[in-house]
Structure 1
Amino acid sequence: MSKSILEVCAYNIQSCIIAEKAGAGRIELCASPAEGGVTPSYGMIEYAVKNLSIPVYVMIRPRGGNFVYTPEELAIMRKDIAVCKELGAAGIAIGILTADNLIDTAAMKQMVALAYPMGVTCHKAFDRTPDAITSLEEVITAGCERILTSGLQPTAVAGADMLARLVNKASGRIIIMPGGGVRSTNVRQLATDTGATELHSSALLQGSEGFVADAGEVAMLVKQIG
């Protein structure tokens, strides 16, 4: 079995530094936690990429709310992808849906092509879709390398059965990365129940100030899946 990887969702540079020191394997870099994460500033992207030794995946999301985008918003996303590539990011996290909340395969395929050679994660827009198995095949067709999902449930623990189905159905064609309420207290069982080898957490504890990751929580998460 391959070594498991913890990806930490970081809303600030402090969380990036804490996550790296505590053993995280990758950063998903975001801004605006109140909106569920949007594209961070170019300055923040550049600082993270240049000062971290672990891969940085940048959230490409121009606003909060739904994942159905106008032509103008898609143009902004293409520009953000180009900047991420120029700054040396390892990858991006993106999700685009149709008005019916289906994966917009054509738009996603275009973004994956623009991002190359960066990796592409389909983020939790996936969980807005009505059929996880159908959406899985569409994301694979689009060329993404992984899906961040809670199995179409509010938390990954609640969606564990579907996550296990997705891991099985993916059959190595794409990585299924559980995220949503993942903590050191449940991550080992979640990994066992789903078969996932990559897991995603903000490593925020109740009362965490400024949405800064907790070093002890990151270290414990890494230990639990190591």
Structure 2
Amino acid sequence: MTTVEICVSDVPTALVAEAAGADRLELCADLGQGGTTPSPGTVEVALRTLRRVGVRVMVRPRGGDFRVSGIEEQVMLADIEAIRSLANPHGLAVGVVVGAVTADGGLDLPVLRRLIEAAGPLPVTVHKAFDEVGDQLRAIEELVDLGADAVLTSGGAPTALAGATRIAALRQRAGDRLRVIAGGGIRSHNVRQVLAATGAREVHLRAPVRRDGREATDGNEVRRVVDATRVQTDPAQRNSSLLSE
């Protein structure tokens, strides 16, 4: 079964996504900046209020590039410790989302190693900073060695569909050692095409809608994505469906 992960910006949107059938949430603040670390209060209330979904909490101290200074690393380590302290009592599957790259287009391995070690038992997803890495196949091996649980990627392309061939290659390289989550431009109208082209078993997306002057989560779109991933067809039917989309 395909895992559908929805990126949300606060507790109300998290509850909408859960009610619409999402399997997992990425909880962030400031989606206009690509997602930053939510407040401890947001994390605590979300974990206390949600009932069944997995939760991954973004740990990113600012928008902009993914190069991490020494002070920013200290902030990220403190945020990870705070998330760990909140995660235990609530019974949900909680993890963190991090990323760090170097100026020359590689993973910042020392920083990532310290962040992953600080997360301890919590699973760690490396976010789409990975798409700035030049040699992604090599980077997959580096993430396996670091002990990361998953990586979110569009295969270095603007969208997951455009990067489908690379995502498929990354999945093949990772095998069962690292989960590769397809993300980037995925919506209900193309999610089945992405799954067929990449072989991905997990997808990540926002389902934005404007409501009361701000961005919220469109529960109907989440439901459509979930329904599309649950459709079971044989290969001939699936290919025919994709040709008609």
TM-score, length of structure 1 as denominator length: 0.95
Q: Which SS does the other structure have where 1:67 is aligned?
A: coil
Counterparts of 2:167 and 2:64, CA distance in 1: 24
Counterparts of 1:65 and 1:187, CA distance in 2: 28
Structure 1 gap segments, 5+ residues each: none
Question: In the alignment, which residue of structure 1 is the partner of 2:43?
Answer: 45
Question: In the alignment, which residue of structure 1 is the partner of 2:16?
Answer: 18
Question: In the alignment, which residue of structure 1 is the partner of 2:70?
Answer: 71
Aligned ranges 1:57-96 → 2 under 5 Å: 57-88=56-87, 90-96=94-100
Question: In the alignment, which residue of structure 2 is the partner of 1:149?
Answer: 153
Deviations 1:162-185, CA, capped at 9 Å, x for gaps:
111111111111111011111001
Question: In the alignment, which residue of structure 2 is the partner of 1:199?
Answer: 203
> Which of 85, 96, 101 is equivalent to 1:97?
101
Deviations 1:61-88, CA, capped at 9 Å, x for gaps:
0001111111111000000000000111
Structure 2 gap segments, 5+ residues each: 88-92, 231-245
> Which of 204, 219, 226 is equivalent to 2:223?
219
Q: How far is the alpha carbon of 1:210 from its aligned partner?
A: 2.0
Contact 1:12 1:30 (8 Å CA) reproduced: yes
Q: How far is the alpha carbon of 1:116 from its aligned partner?
A: 1.6
Counterparts of 2:184 and 2:109, CA distance in 1: 24
Contact 1:9 1:30 (8 Å CA) reproduced: yes
Question: In the alignment, which residue of structure 1 is the partner of 2:236?
Answer: none
Counterparts of 1:103 and 1:141, CA distance in 2: 12
Write the letter of the residue equivalent to 2:109.
Answer: T
Counterparts of 2:151 and 2:159, CA distance in 1: 15
Write the letter of the residue equivalent to 2:171.
Answer: V
Q: Which SS does the other structure have where 1:211 is aligned?
A: strand
Contact 1:106 1:142 (8 Å CA) reproduced: no
Contact 2:181 2:204 (8 Å CA) reproduced: yes
Q: What is the alpha-carbon root mean square deviation over aligned residues?
A: 1.2
Deviations 1:120-142, CA, capped at 9 Å, x for gaps:
00000000111211111111111
Write the letter of the residue equivalent to 1:38.
Answer: T
Question: In the alignment, which residue of structure 2 is the partner of 1:30?
Answer: 28
> Which of 124, 128, 131 is equivalent to 2:128?
124
Write the letter of the residue equivalent to 2:58.
Answer: M
* 2:115 paired with 1:111: yes
Contact 1:127 1:150 (8 Å CA) reproduced: yes
Question: In the alignment, which residue of structure 2 is the partner of 1:166?
Answer: 170
Number of matched pairs: 223
Q: How far is the alpha carbon of 1:111 from its aligned partner?
A: 1.1
